[in-house]
Amino acid sequence: MNNIELPIEKDPEISSSDETSLLVIILDTNPGQKLLRDNPNAITQVVDSVVAFGNTHLMQKAQNKLAIMTCHSRTSQFIYPGSKAALDVRQIDGQYEAFTLVEKTVKQNLSSILSSEHSGVITESLLAGAIAMALCYIARIQRTKATGLKLNCRILVVTGSGDSASQYMNYMNVFFTAQKQNIVIDVCSLDQHLSLLQQGCDITNGLYLKVPQVSALLQYLLWVFLPEPPIREKLVLPPPVKVDYRAACFCHRELIDIGYVCSVCLSIFCKFSPICTTCHTVFKIPGPLAVKAKKKKMKM
């Protein structure tokens, strides 16, 4: 696509940026998140920014692809391209028709989701599930693409929720799947620090950013998340944060430093218990030696 290549000695990475790229944006619209509980109108601005960002991605190259998903209080679904036939969009102003189509489709699908769900119960956003769906979608696109075409895929999660350890297993499964499939997971947090999703970024070589001001969301998105992974090394971007790789125990879902691991099934527990709740193995009681050793070290 790029006509304007470097005139001298083409670097291989320059030509490799000439590939099609698919971006799947997962937008957390759960009204239960703190950000939206404080200010329900913030959703409009977040959606606008995300749509504009998606269109900017499409603007990069004619063959770029975009999909937008919403992760709502009870469901996760694709809002662009929706499952229904594409809308008949006419150009109404100077905006490029394809961009108008994205905007219209997203807004229509989103409003139908928002109006269909009004329960006052606060639920957690099942982001891991949404990522799993996105991975299935990407897998299909990879299967059906033309032979010989190179398609780079990435997922961007935009959320104001916290990440709860209750989805730990699903998170790990999706992260490792993404890593195996060479899919980059980027995370843009609007509100709180997300330690699990941050691990996902680290595993898949994605970027993690906690946006300081939601009002400037679009600028942050464009600066940090627009560049494709191959070109990221050429730009100065926020350095990777040191990731906190603690595990969540199976019994209380809390992040722990030191825990007990069942030798049979590798379940993690924060306290010693005589029976593994996962595989029902009966453990032998650790000898007094181990206890001693532990005490001694604790003093250090």
Partner 1 sequence: MADNGIGTSKQEISTLITQSNLECKNLYDYLKTRPSNILERLYNHPAICLAVYRELPELARQYVIRILFVEQPVPQAVVASWGSQAHSREHNYVTKVLTELNVWTEGSLPGGLLGWILSHTFKRNLKIALLGGGKSWSMSSALEPDKNVRDINFLDTYSSERWECVLHYMVGSQQQEGISADAVRILLHAGLMKRDEDDGSPVITRQGFQFLLLDRHAQLSFSTLGKDYSTEGMSQGLLIFLQHLREFGLVYQRKRKAGRFYPTRLALNITNTQSKSTVLLEEDTPKGYIVVETNYRVYAYTDSNLQVALIALFTELMYRFPNLVVGVITRDSIRQALRGGITADQIIGYLKQHAHPQMLTSESKQPLPPTVVDQIKLWELERNRLVYHEGVLYSQFLSQADFNVLREYAQSNGVLIWCNKEKRTLVVNKNAHDDVRKFWKKYSKGS
Partner 2 sequence: MNDDEDPKEYRWETGYEKTWEAIKEDDEGFLEASVADIILRAKRKRQAQKQGSQKLGMMRHLYLILDCSESMSSQDLKPTRMICTLKILEGFIEEFFDQNPISQMGIILMQNKRADKLSELAGNFRKHIKYLKSLSKTNLIGEPSLQNGLDLAISSLKLLPSHASREILVIMGSLTTCDPGDICTTVTKLKQEGIRCSIIGLAAEVRVYLLYQQVEPPPAAVALESSLIKMGFPHQMNTEGTEEPLTMCMCHVDSTEEGSKLTTGGYYCPQCFSKYCELPVECRACGLTLVSAPHLARSYHHLFPAANYVEVAMANSAENCYGCQKNFTDEDKNVYRCPKCKKIFCIDCDIFIHDILHSCPGCATDLATFQIMQN
Which parts of this chain interact with partner 1 (CB under 8 A)?
1-7, 14, 17-20, 52, 55-56, 59-63, 65, 90-100, 103, 141, 144-149, 151, 218-219, 222-223, 226-228, 231, 233-236
Closest approach of partner 2 to the CB of residue 168, in Å: 7
Mark the segment that binds partner 2 (CB under 8 A) among 39-47, 50-58, 137-145, 154-162.
137-145
Distance CA 8, CA 210 (A): 39
Of the two residues 99 and 260, which places its CB atom closer to partner 2 in the complex?
260
123 binds, among partner 1, partner 2, none (CB under 5 to 8 A by kind): partner 2
List 166, 182, 215, 219, residue binding partner 2 (CB under 8 A): 166
What is the per-residue binding string for partner 2 in 63-92, x denoting contact by CB under 8 A?
--------x--xxx-x----x---------
Q: How far is CA 92 from CA 35, 50, 82, 137, 239, in A?
A: 33, 21, 22, 31, 42
Q: How far is CA 213 from CA 38, 49, 226, in A?
A: 15, 13, 18
The alpha-helical segments, DSSP class H, found in 17-119 are 34-38, 42-60, 97-116
Closest approach of partner 2 to the CB of residue 143, in Å: 6
Does residue 122 touch partner 2 according to CB under 8 A?
A: no
8 Å CB contact between 197 and 188? no
Does residue 290 touch partner 2 according to CB under 8 A?
A: yes
Does residue 157 touch partner 2 according to CB under 8 A?
A: no
Of 114, 18, 33, 32, the residue nearest 70 (C-alpha): 114
Closest approach of partner 2 to the CB of residue 273, in Å: 8
Of the two residues 39 and 63, which places its CB atom closer to partner 1 in the complex?
63
Of the two residues 45 and 281, which places its CB atom closer to partner 2 in the complex?
281
Does residue 52 touch partner 2 according to CB under 8 A?
A: no
* CA 1 from centre of chain: 28
User: Rounded to 5 degrees, what are φ and ψ at 100?
Assistant: -60, -40
Does residue 140 touch partner 2 according to CB under 8 A?
A: yes
The DSSP code sequence of 107-148 is HHHHHHHHHH----------HHHHHHHHHHHHHHHHHHSPTT
Distance CA 195, CA 180 (A): 21
Of 197, 172, 213, 203, the residue nearest 35 (C-alpha): 213
Other CB atoms within a 10 A radius of the CB of residue 201 amount to: 22
Q: How many CA atoms lie within 13 A of 207 on its CB side?
A: 23
Of the two residues 115 and 144, which places its CB atom closer to partner 1 in the complex?
144
Does residue 269 touch partner 2 according to CB under 8 A?
A: yes
Does residue 167 touch partner 2 according to CB under 8 A?
A: yes
Structure tokens at 267: 């379940």
213 binds, among partner 2, partner 1, none (CB under 5 to 8 A by kind): none
Of the two residues 90 and 297, which places its CB atom closer to partner 2 in the complex?
297
List 180, 213, 236, 295, residue binding partner 2 (CB under 8 A): 180
Of the two residues 85 and 285, which places its CB atom closer to partner 1 in the complex?
85
8 Å CB contact between 225 and 214? no
Of the two residues 1 and 266, which places its CB atom closer to partner 1 in the complex?
1
